[in-house]
Amino acid sequence: MSASLATVSYIGATILFILSLGGLSNQETSRRGNLYGMVGMALAVAATVFGPQVTMAGVPWIIGAMVVGGAIGLTAARKVQMTQMPELVALMHSMVGMAAVLVGYATYVDPEATKGFEGAAHTIHAMEIYIGIFIGAVTFSGSVIAFGKLSGRIGGKPMLLPGRHWMNLAGLLAVIYFGRLFLQAETLQDGMLPLFVMSAIALLFGIHMVMARKSSVVWLAGSATM
């Protein structure tokens, strides 16, 4: 598969994912939304496996990961009760967030992924990596805490720290500051430190935001994504 065809496939998958989210917002269209999501994911996986960035040596690893993930998903679908779905969704969201973090780091350290990017294109690409890792880290830690609250492993009472809004503001300013250092980094080693610091702040962000919510609010959020 050529690079242009893979790009078109990714765009098509993105459109299907958006349609999927729209369908899942309503019970009457949820089946269609699920179908859009499955087709979109199949298209994205095919574009990745047969795309120009994956060699034949990497195909067995991808197939193995798909088999393991599919087996876990099938087992969970058969055994998990409907009342446990919100916490299962939270756990799945945490895996999505961690995947985004790992993909972001892998993209940054892979010289082939940034090959050909210069000037403004390189800056935009670096911003995508930075923001993607930030969102992924917040999603991961927040979803883990949400899973703990929904499953009863963490108390449902909100944890309201004194000066929490100022703490959030300080964390956000720190993320922006280290983002500037990351964009100005001339070498891989110079950029890794800002990424590590931002990732740690993002993980704390996710924990703090969900810990400050009641279990009932977390349950409603988890139910809305089903």
The C-alpha angle with vertex 42 and arms to 41 and 47, in degrees rounded to 5, equals 95
State percent of the chain over pLDDT 70: 87
pLDDT of residue 219: 45
- 176 pLDDT higher than 90: yes
Mean pLDDT of 144-152: 80
| Domains in the chain: boundaries | 82-226
Per-residue pLDDT tens over the stretch 195-214: 999 999 999 988 888 887 66
Per-residue pLDDT tens over the stretch 29-55: 778 888 888 898 888 888 878 877 777
Between residues 80 and 139, which one has the greater pLDDT?
139
- 76 pLDDT higher than 80: no
Rounded CA separation 172/66 (Å): 36
Is 6 in contact with 51 (CB distance < 8 Å)? Answer: yes
Mean pLDDT of 88-101: 82
Among 62, 39, 64, residue whose Cα is nearest residue 49: 62
pLDDT of residue 195: 92
The residue to which tokens 């950029």 are assigned? 191
